């Protein structure tokens, strides 16, 4: 099979699976990017078949991008960073997959994002995009906080900001709370005139539909809307507290990742902002690095 | 067709469609129950095909229960009380249905519940079950409050109580809030030991899965758990305020309907509780009554 038959030095592929897309990057042994492919969502929590399909498709595209053949996936040692695999059942489902790689190593998307952010060094990350979660890895100790998904958790995330804003506006339109510019923003956003119009646009929709409102909620807050300020500040306070919990492991570096990382900064506590370092590499790098470490361990056994 | 060809005095059927089941009752012109049938969910918001299927099935069972033939649906003047038909698009979809009845009249489940509760008289109702909403009808004026669905609205409902409890417990397990007996309750309920276990049982689940937790949250509150008390009181305060808004139309009667109507009473304001009257008839009666009124109007035109 693969490695032995071909007698080729293995290449590594890092795969970052997420709720909206799956990105795969092939690296040489010394960490140079050879090719990249992007496919649809790959979140085991929302369907294994689609996850595997997206991993295969992004791998195929990365191989073509690298000037290789589709069948060359057998030459690749793969690292997969996936949401949901902290649930033992889902981890086992992914590990049991008849994958197309020479070898496959699986961990959480949080873990690979953290490895990437610090280029393999220990550290902590908070991801605030559609969802929110925190992860710290120091020596052999790791700490994972939040990330329980919409609408159960993910406080301070884009979807959470959108949901809290919509909740408040619906209460305001029924006369239970004061209407502010946030109410006008939401009605205008959906081009509707009443609560039912909002409900028609949001009922049963995915977290990304709610997260699409986050920028506007932040704009309202930055413009001084009292309701928006209260929502954004509550979310940001949670993120600040999450950061302090991650700091309890004394990570050398701390990064914030995701679409809300930058706009939320103005609302975080100064002690947290002071500790933010830029991310050094993307999650795919982290996934590749993880695979490399595990692969080398397996050789040295 | 139907009425003219058969020259039979029309019978009426009242259909109460809901998120978990659909109940149909055939009444004689003078309001006696001839037969009843129950089928699966019939909520247009969650699928039209299933809604129509459940209405047909409950009608079929009601016809058999009444000792009639399936084809006798052509003799029935139907009243349908359905969730979601306050959304104009869904109302039109239902009205356009090639239904099996002699005639069909459609209104919201809130409206038919209100007519039923007061046996055709004007009045107000609050429904607190899986969801929550309020409705008041006096003369030609009606007022509808809430009912925007899980997780966007439905404050004070069973699903809302379950969601708020789960949210708090997940925060507590991450160290963001104090753990109380509510935490133990939820862990024991799902027979799990940590936050991930709870998430595995609730992520992506329907509102009824959350509502199933409501009784236990109420038990915790009644046993003095401070967190549960705060959640239940916030929900109950919203329901009390909703009642006062409904009272602004000066309804002669006010009833509370749904699985949480009774257990929530202890948490409502005394001025609201003092106004509660028992329900006089079920929503199917209201749907039938509505159809009868509309049918008579159509004859007198």
**CATH number of the CATH domain containing B31:** 3.30.420.40
Q: Do A149 and B241 touch (CB under 8 A)?
A: no
pLDDT at B88: 84
Instruction: Give the closest-approach CA distance of B110 to chain A in angstroms.
Output: 15
Structural contact between residues B128 and B239, judged by C-beta atoms closer than 8 angstroms:
yes
DSSP state of A188: H
Residue B301 pLDDT level (bands cut at 50, 70, 90): low
In this structure, are A260 and A288 located in the same domain?
no
What values do phi and psi take at B222, rounded to 5?
Answer: -65, -25
CA–CA separation, A199 and B88 (whole Å): 12
A193: buried, middle or exposed (CB in 10 Å: 19+, 13-18, 0-12)? exposed
Note whether residue B97 is domain-resident.
Answer: yes
pLDDT at B83: 85
- Is residue B20 predicted with pLDDT exceeding 50? yes
Neighbours of A32 (CB within 10 A): 8
Note whether residue A133 is domain-resident.
Answer: no
Question: Which residues of chain B lie closer than 8 angstroms to A163, CB-CB?
Answer: 151-152
Of the candidates B145, B149, B196, the beta carbon closest to that of A174 is on B145
Helix (H, G, I), strand (E, B) or coil at A47: coil
Of the candidates A87, A155, A167, the beta carbon closest to that of B152 is on A167
Of the candidates A46, A89, A195, the beta carbon closest to that of B148 is on A195
In this structure, are B111 and B168 located in the same domain?
no
Note whether residue B40 is domain-resident.
Answer: yes
Residue B19 pLDDT level (bands cut at 50, 70, 90): confident
Of the candidates A149, A196, A241, the beta carbon closest to that of B176 is on A241
Q: Which of residues 19-78 of A touch B (CB under 8 A)?
A: 45-46
- Is residue A270 predicted with pLDDT exceeding 90? yes
Q: Do B148 and A245 touch (CB under 8 A)?
A: no
More confident residue, A33 or B206: A33
A213-222, A243-252, A291-300, B70-79: least confidently modelled range: A291-300
Note whether residue B139 is domain-resident.
Answer: no
In this structure, are B100 and B209 located in the same domain?
no
Q: Do B199 and A153 touch (CB under 8 A)?
A: yes
Residue A2 pLDDT level (bands cut at 50, 70, 90): very low
Q: Do B176 and A238 touch (CB under 8 A)?
A: yes
Note whether residue A213 is domain-resident.
Answer: yes
Instruction: Give the closest-approach CA distance of A186 to chain B in angstroms.
Output: 14
Share of chain B above pLDDT 70, in %: 97
pLDDT at A8: 59
pLDDT at B203: 87
pLDDT at B215: 97
Closest residue on chain B to A134 (Cα): B174
B146 vs A: CB within 8 A:
yes
Closest residue on chain B to A175 (Cα): B245
In this structure, are B114 and B6 located in the same domain?
yes
In this structure, are B237 and B177 located in the same domain?
yes
Over the stretch B81-118, which tens digit does the pLDDT of each residue have? 998 898 888 999 999 999 999 999 999 999 999 999 99
| Mean pLDDT computed over A269-294 | 96
pLDDT at B2: 41
- Is residue A126 predicted with pLDDT exceeding 90? yes
Closest residue on chain A to B146 (Cα): A174
In this structure, are B244 and B189 located in the same domain?
yes
Helix (H, G, I), strand (E, B) or coil at A41: coil
pLDDT at B84: 82
Question: Which residues of chain B lie closer than 8 angstroms to A170, CB-CB?
Answer: 148, 152-153
A149: buried, middle or exposed (CB in 10 Å: 19+, 13-18, 0-12)? buried
Instruction: Give the closest-approach CA distance of A239 to chain B in angstroms.
Output: 11
Structural contact between residues B257 and B117, judged by C-beta atoms closer than 8 angstroms:
yes
CA–CA separation, A148 and A84 (whole Å): 9
Tell me, rounded to whole angstroms, the distance of Cα B200 from its chain centroid: 28
Q: Do B175 and A245 touch (CB under 8 A)?
A: yes
Share of chain A above pLDDT 70, in %: 97
Over the stretch A134-148, which tens digit does the pLDDT of each residue have? 999 999 899 999 989
Tell me, rounded to whole angstroms, the distance of Cα A258 from its chain centroid: 7
* CB neighbour list of residue A77: distance below 8 Å, 6 or more residues apart: A10, A11, A12, A13, A101, A102, A103, A104, A105, A291, A292, A295
- Is residue A90 predicted with pLDDT exceeding 70? yes
Note whether residue A141 is domain-resident.
Answer: no
Instruction: Give the closest-approach CA distance of B148 to chain A in angstroms.
Output: 6
Three-class DSSP labels, chain B: CHHHHHCCCCEEEEEEECCCCEEEEEECCCCCEEEEEEECCCCHHHCHHHHHHHHHHHHHHHHHHCCCCHHHHHHEEEEEEECCCCCHHHHHHHHCCCCCCCEEEEEEHHHHHHHHHCCCCCEEEEEECCCEEEEEEECCEEEEEECCCCCCCCCCCHHHHHHHHHHHHHHHHCCCCCCCHHHHHHHHHHCCCCHHHHHHHHCCCCHHHHHCCHHHHHHHHHCCCHHHHHHHHHHHHHHHHHHHHHHCCCCCCEEEECCCHHHHHHHCCHHHHCCCCCCCCCHHHHHHHHHHHHHHHHHHC
Of the candidates B46, B148, B204, the beta carbon closest to that of A199 is on B148
Neighbours of A260 (CB within 10 A): 28
- Is residue A225 predicted with pLDDT exceeding 60? yes
In this structure, are B222 and B295 located in the same domain?
no
Q: Do A245 and B146 touch (CB under 8 A)?
A: no
- CA–CA distances in Å: residue B159 to residues A210, A254, B62, B113: 20, 37, 30, 20
Over the stretch B27-63, which tens digit does the pLDDT of each residue have? 988 889 999 999 998 988 888 999 999 999 999 999 9
Structural contact between residues A12 and A297, judged by C-beta atoms closer than 8 angstroms:
no
- Is residue A88 predicted with pLDDT exceeding 90? no
More confident residue, A13 or A200: A13
pLDDT at B204: 83
- Is residue B299 predicted with pLDDT exceeding 90? no
Of the candidates A163, A174, A203, the beta carbon closest to that of B146 is on A174
B226 vs A: CB within 8 A:
no
In this structure, are A81 and A173 located in the same domain?
no
**CA-closest candidate to residue A258, choices A117, A150, A164, A84:** A117
Helices (H) and strands (E) in chain A, counts: 13, 9
Cβ contacts below 8 Å, chain A against chain B, sum to 70
In this structure, are A11 and A34 located in the same domain?
yes
- Is residue B5 predicted with pLDDT exceeding 60? no
pLDDT at B87: 82
Over the stretch B270-283, which tens digit does the pLDDT of each residue have? 999 999 999 999 99
DSSP state of A149: -
In this structure, are A94 and A13 located in the same domain?
yes
CA–CA separation, A293 and A33 (whole Å): 18
Q: Do B200 and A87 touch (CB under 8 A)?
A: yes
Helix, strand, coil abundance in chain A, percent, nearest 5: 50, 20, 30
Domain extent for B291: 2-119+280-300
Residue A164 pLDDT level (bands cut at 50, 70, 90): very high
How many structural domains are present in chain A?
2
Share of chain A above pLDDT 90, in %: 81
Cα of first residue to Cα of last residue in chain B, in angstroms, is 20
| Mean pLDDT computed over A156-172 | 97
Q: Do B170 and A148 touch (CB under 8 A)?
A: yes
In this structure, are A114 and A14 located in the same domain?
yes
pLDDT at A301: 66
Closest residue on chain A to B237 (Cα): A176
CA–CA separation, B256 and B138 (whole Å): 17
Instruction: Give the closest-approach CA distance of B272 to chain A in angstroms.
Output: 17
- Is residue B6 predicted with pLDDT exceeding 60? no
Residue B295 pLDDT level (bands cut at 50, 70, 90): very high
| Mean pLDDT computed over A281-293 | 96
Over the stretch B241-272, which tens digit does the pLDDT of each residue have? 999 999 999 999 999 999 999 999 999 999 99
Of the candidates A151, A195, A238, the beta carbon closest to that of B163 is on A151
pLDDT at A4: 45
Q: Which residue has the tokens 């429904």?
A: B127
Question: Which residues of chain A lie closer than 8 angstroms to B45, CB-CB?
Answer: 203-204
CA–CA separation, A263 and A218 (whole Å): 8
Interstrand relation of A254-257 and A123-128 (parallel, antiparallel or unpaired): parallel
Residue B8 pLDDT level (bands cut at 50, 70, 90): low
Note whether residue A110 is domain-resident.
Answer: yes
A92 vs B: CB within 8 A:
no
In this structure, are A289 and A254 located in the same domain?
no
State the average pLDDT for chain A: 93
Q: Do B195 and A167 touch (CB under 8 A)?
A: no
Over the stretch B135-145, which tens digit does the pLDDT of each residue have? 999 998 999 99
Note whether residue A225 is domain-resident.
Answer: yes
């Amino acid at each position: 099979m693969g490695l032995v038959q071909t007698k080729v030095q293995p290449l590594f592929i890092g795969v970052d699976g997420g709720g909206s897309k799956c990105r795969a990057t092939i690296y040489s042994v010394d960490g140079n990017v050879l090719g990249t492919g992007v496919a649809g969502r790959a979140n085991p929590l929302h369907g294994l078949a689609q996850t595997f399909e997206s991993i295969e498709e992004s791998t195929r595209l990365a191989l073509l991008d690298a000037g290789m053949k589709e069948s060359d996936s057998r030459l690749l040692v793969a690292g997969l960073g996936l949401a949901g695999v902290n649930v033992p059942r889902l981890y086992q489902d992914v590990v049991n997959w008849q994958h197309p790689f020479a070898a496959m190593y699986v961990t959480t998307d949080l873990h690979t994002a953290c490895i990437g952010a610090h280029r393999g060094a220990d550290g902590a990350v908070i991801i605030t995009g559609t969802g929110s979660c925190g992860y710290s890895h120091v020596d052999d100790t790791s700490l994972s906080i939040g990330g329980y998904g919409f609408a159960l958790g993910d406080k301070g995330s884009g979807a959470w900001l959108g949901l809290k804003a919509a909740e408040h506006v619906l209460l305001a339109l029924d006369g239970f709370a004061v209407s502010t510019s946030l109410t006008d923003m939401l009605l205008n956003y959906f081009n509707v005139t009443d609560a039912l119009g909002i409900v028609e646009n949001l009922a049963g929709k995915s977290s990304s539909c709610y997260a699409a409102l986050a920028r506007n909620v932040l704009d309202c807050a930055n413009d001084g809307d009292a309701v928006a300020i209260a929502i954004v500040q509550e979310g940001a306070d949670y993120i600040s507290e999450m950061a302090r919990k991650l700091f309890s492991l004394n990570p050398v570096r701390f990064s914030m990742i995701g679409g809300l990382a930058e706009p939320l900064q103005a609302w975080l506590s100064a002690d947290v902002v002071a500790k933010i370092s830029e991310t050094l590499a993307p999650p795919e790098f982290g996934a590749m690095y993880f695979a490399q470490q595990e692969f080398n361990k397996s050789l040295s056994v």
